[in-house]
Amino acid sequence: MQLGRVVGTVVSTVKEPRMKELKLQVVRLLDERGRETGGYTVAVDAVGAGHGDVVLFAAGSSARQTERTDGRPTDATIMAIVDSFDVEGRVVYEASAADERPPEAPRPRRGGSRP
């Protein structure tokens, strides 16, 4: 598994039928100190990550080991949103309370309420 930060989204209206309904995210790779390495990958999002989230993703055949990606042609899958991590006893990253989102929180409707 590798660390990365979600920096964008890929939109594709024409794709392999088994890839429909899968969200594709652009992930910038991070090293063990949380520094960007300059590399990027596109990964299927299996957990609902958002822009700016630090994530764990799997590449290769392991990317197809989630319920959402089983039997689908993917080479990278986001499998976890990172709350924190440390290296050699030092906290490298810790999500702030403002960054935390409840899972599957409903989004507010646009345009106000209708009478």
Total tally of structural domains belonging to the chain: 1
Q: Is residue 63 situated within a structural domain?
A: yes
The reply to whether 39 falls in a domain is yes
pTM of the model: 0.79
What is the CATH number for 53? 2.40.50.220
Residue 100: predicted pLDDT = 52
Q: How far apart are CA 40 and CA 105, in angstroms?
A: 28
Q: Judge whether 107 lies within some domain.
A: no
Residue closest to 100 by CA, chosen among 45, 49, 56: 49
Are the CB atoms for 28 and 40 separated by under 8 Å? yes
User: Do the domain assignments include residue 115?
Assistant: no
Q: Is 107 helix (H, G, I), strand (E, B) or coil?
A: coil
Domain membership of residue 57 (yes or no) is yes
pLDDT tens digits along 34-62: 999 999 999 999 999 999 999 999 998 88
In this prediction, residues 62-81 reach a mean pLDDT of 90
Is position 22 within any domain? yes
**What domain range is 82 assigned to?**
2-94
Residue with tokens 């709350």: 83
Cα Rg of the chain, angstroms: 16
Q: What is the pLDDT of residue 101?
A: 52
Residue 111 lies in a domain: no
CA angle 21, 22, 26 (to 5 degrees): 140
Which is more confident, 97 or 61? 61
Pairing status of strand 2-10 against strand 24-30: antiparallel
In a domain, 99, yes or no: no
